[in-house]
Chains A and B, each alone.
Chain A
Amino acid sequence: MGDLYHSQKQFDPPEEIVDESQIKTWRSHPWWLYLLIVILIATAVGIYTQENLQEAFMFIIRGIGVTVIIAIVSYLIAILLGLLTGLGRISRNVFVNNIATFYVEFLRGIPMRVLIFFIALVGVPVVVDWMNALGIPIENKDIPMEARAVIALSVTYGAFLAEIFRAGIQSIGRGQMEAARSLGMSFGKAMRYVILPQAVRNVLPALGNDFVAMVKDSSLVSLLAVGDITYMAKVYSGSTFRFREAYTILSLSYLTMTVVLSRIMNRIEKRMRTDGR
C-alpha cells in the first residue's frame, strides 16, 4: 500500500494547467498582419528610392493634418450629439423622443455621400437663412467648407452613435436605475453616476470601431474640395496622370492609420477586460 502510494506520487507530478490559447504555435501568429507590415515597409522603401512615388507621397501627405483633425473633431462632436440623441431615444417625453427618432431615421435613410452634400449645401444654407430671419447677421461664405465638412460628418455619425449609446443604456438592468432612484437620486443623477458609466464601458469597443470607420469616411469630405489626403490624391493624379502612384500612396495611408488604430483599440479593450471593470 505504502509503495503504491509513493510510486503514484512519483509518476504524477503536479501538472500545470496549460491554457492552450496562450501557446504560440505557427497557427496562432497574425500572419496577415506581418504581410501588411511587409507591404507597408516595401512601400516605404519605394517612396525612399523612387522619385515618382516620393513626389506623390510628399504631395498627398500635406493633407494628413486635415484628415486627422477633421476625423477627431467630428468624432468628438458626434459623441456629444450621439449621447444626447441616445438619451432622447429612451426618453419618455413624447416630443424629445420623436425629435431624436426623426433625426436618427432621417439620417439612416440617406447614403452618406449624398448626406455630405445635403448637409453642406442645403442644411447649412437653410440654417443660415433661419439665423438671418432671427436677426443674426451671418453669411454662407462665413462658413468655410472645412467647417461644413465637420458638421456633415458629426451630424451623420451622431445618428450612428446615438443607436450605440441607446443600446448601451438599455443593456443596463432596470434594477440599477431603481436602486439609484430609491436612494433619492433624480433621473439625471442616476443616469450620470450609475447608468452612463456602465453603459459607456460596455459600448467602448463599438465606439472604437466607429472611430476607425470615421477615419475612413472622412475621405468623403474631398467631395467638398476640402484638402484632406483623398482630395490631395485627386488633385495630384489629375495634374500628373500618375494614378497608380497617387492611389497606392492614398490607400496605404488609410490602411496604416486604421490598422494602427484598431490595434490600439484592441489593446485598450483587452486591458479593460483583464481589469474586470
Chain B
Amino acid sequence: MADNIIEIKDLYRYFGKVKALDGVSLNVKRGSVVVVIGPSGSGKSTMLRCINHLEVPTSGEVWIDGVCLESKHEKLDNIRADIGMVFQLFNLFPHLTALENITMAQKAVRKRSEAEAREIALQKLERVGILEKADVYPDNLSGGQQQRVAIARALAMDPKIMLFDEPTSALDPEMIKEVLDVMLDLAEEGMTMVVVTHEMSFARAAADEIIFMDEGKIVEQTTPDGLFNNPQHERTKLFLSQILD
C-alpha cells in the first residue's frame, strides 16, 4: 500500500450519456512520473480531475496515500492541499500579483504567517526562474511566465503529488521549453507527477510510465521505450503516427 501514492480503482464518470471514464484503474508509485496521452475527449482531464476530486466519479474509488476520497469522513480540502494542480489555461488569480498568488493559499489553508508565506513564495519564484516578476500582475506576464507562477503556486503548498493538465498546450512554441524545463527539474527531484501532455520530448526524458487513453479507457500502459519502439495496440500506433509527424 505504502508504495502506491495514488490508487484508482474501477473509476467511471458519466456526463449524461457520455462515458468520460469507462472503468479506469491505475496505480501510481511514489516518486514516479506518469504521462497520459490520448486523443481529445478520451477522458484524460476527467481522470486527472478525479484524482483530487475536482470531478466526482460516478462510481469507483480514488485512494491518495492510503486514504479513500470517497469515504465521507475524509476532509477533501486537506487532501487537495497536498495535491498540486497545474491547468492548461494557468488559472492565476488576476487580481493578485505573482507573489500574492503564491502566498494566498499558504496563509488561508496552511495558516502560515505573511512573512513565512512570502519567503516561501520568493523561494519558489526563484526556483521557476522569475523572481524578478514577483510584483507583476498576471495580465502583464507572458504565457510561459504565468504557467511558471502557477507551478510555483502549487509547489508552495508542499504537495506530495503534482498533476499537470496539458500545461504547455496553450503556450507559444518558444515558451514551451521554459515550462518543460521546470517540470523536468521537478521530476528529477523525485516529485510524484501525473502529466497529461503530448510533448513527447518530456515523456521520453522523464516518464517512468506512459498511459494511452481512448474513449474513457486505458488502452495501453507501458514505458517510453515500449511506446515508441513497440506499441501493442492499433489505436496507439495510429495516434502516435498522428502526433509524431
Which of A58-66, A116-124, A191-199 sits within the interface?
A191-199
**Closest residue to A200 on the B side, CB-wise?**
B95
Residue pair B77, A179 in contact (C-beta under 8 Å): no
B104 within 8 A of A: yes
Interface residues of B in 58-109 (CB under 8 A from A): 77-85, 87, 89, 91-95, 104-105, 108-109
Question: Are the CB atoms of B137 and A182 closer together than 8 Å?
Answer: no
A277, chain B: closest CB distance, angstroms: 6
Given contacts A175-B87, A189-B108, A193-B108, is CB(A183)–CB(B95) below 8 Å?
A: no
* Selected contact of A277 from candidates B52, B89, B91, B94, CB within 8 Å: B94
> Could you tell me the distance between the alpha carbons of A38 and B47 in the complex, rounded to whole angstroms?
68
CB-CB < 8 A to B94: which residues of A? Answer: 198, 277
Partner of A179 from the list B82, B93, B109, B137 (CB cut-off 8 Å) is: B93
Chain A interface SS verdict (over half): helix
Near A by CB (< 8 A), chain B positions 142-192 give 150, 153-154, 157
Check A183 against B93 for contact (C-beta < 8 Å). Answer: no
Q: Judge whether B54 is part of the interface by a CB distance below 8 angstroms.
A: yes
Judge whether A262 is part of the interface by a CB distance below 8 angstroms: no
Residues from chain A with a CB closer than 8 A to the CB of B10 are none
Q: A182-B83, A183-B153, A276-B139 are in contact. Are A175 and B91 (CB under 8 A)?
A: yes
- Most chain B beta carbons < 10 A, residue from A175, A184, A277: A184
Taken together as a complex, chains A and B put the C-alpha atoms of A181 and B104 apart, in Å, by: 12
Contacts of A201 in B (CB 8 A): 95
CA distance A111 to B154 in the complex (A): 51
Give the shortest distance, in Å, between A17 (CB) and chain B (any CB). 21
Q: A178 near B: Cβ within 8 Å?
A: yes
- A147 and B54 CA atoms in complex are apart in Å by 46
Picked from B89, B91, B104, B139, the residue with its CB within 8 Å of the CB of A193 is B104
B80 near A183 with CB under 8 A, answer yes
Q: Are A178 and B105 in contact (CB under 8 A)?
A: no
Instruction: Flag whether A251 is at the interface (Cβ < 8 A).
Output: no
**Which residues of B have CB within 8 Å of A193?**
104, 108
Q: CA separation between A182 and B77, bound complex, in Å?
A: 8
**A178–B52 alpha-carbon span in the complex (Å):** 11
Residue of chain B at shortest CB distance from A178: B54
Could you tell me if B137 and A276 are in contact, using CB atoms closer than 8 angstroms? Answer: yes
Q: Which of these, B54, B77, B85, contacts A185 with CB under 8 Å?
A: B77
Chain B interface size, as a band, is 20 to 34
- CB neighbours (8 Å) of A173 from chain B are 91
Task: Report Cα–Cα, A276/B97, bound state, in Å.
Answer: 12
Contact between chains at A194 and B54 (CB < 8 Å): no
CB–CB A182/B52 < 8 A: yes
Contact (Cβ within 8 A) A185 B108: yes
A183 touches B109 (CB 8 A): yes
Q: Tell me which residues from 106 to 142 in chain B have a Cβ below 8 Å from any Cβ of chain A.
A: 108-109, 137, 139
The answer to whether A183 and B54 touch (CB under 8 A), given A176-B91, A197-B95, A277-B137, is no
Q: Are A183 and B157 in contact (CB under 8 A)?
A: yes
> How many Å lie between the Cα of A182 and that of B105 in the bound state?
10
CB of B93 within 8 A of CB of A176, answer: yes
Asked if B78 contacts A184 (CB within 8 A), the reply is yes
Would you call A175 and B137 a contact (CB within 8 A)? Answer: no
CA distance A173 to B92 in the complex (A): 11
- Residues of the B chain whose Cβ atoms lie less than 8 Å from the Cβ of A197: 95
Whether the pair A178, B87 counts as a contact (CB closer than 8 A) is yes
- A185/B109 in contact, CB under 8 A: yes
**In the complex the two chains form, is A277's CB within 8 Å of B95's CB?**
yes
Q: A175-B91, A189-B109 are in contact. Are A182 and B139 (CB under 8 A)?
A: no
A182, B154: Cα distance in complex, Å? 9
In the assembled complex, A180 has its CB within 8 A of some CB on chain B: yes
Contact A183 B105, beta carbon cutoff 8 Å: yes
| A window 108-130: CB within 8 A of B | none
A162-188 vs B, CB cutoff 8 Å, 1 = contact: the mask equals: 000000000001011011111111100
Given contacts A184-B77, A185-B109, A193-B104, 9 further A-B contacts (CB under 8 A): A175-B89, A178-B91, A179-B91, A179-B92, A183-B105, A184-B105, A194-B93, A197-B95, A198-B94
Listed A/B pairs (16) with beta-carbon separation below 8 Å: A176-B93, A178-B54, A178-B87, A181-B77, A182-B154, A183-B105, A183-B154, A184-B81, A184-B105, A184-B157, A193-B108, A194-B104, A198-B93, A201-B95, A277-B94, A277-B95
Binding site for B on A (CB under 8 A): 173, 175-176, 178-186, 189, 193-194, 197-198, 201, 276-277
Chain A to chain B: the 3 pairs with minimum beta-carbon distance, closest first = A184-B81, A179-B91, A183-B105
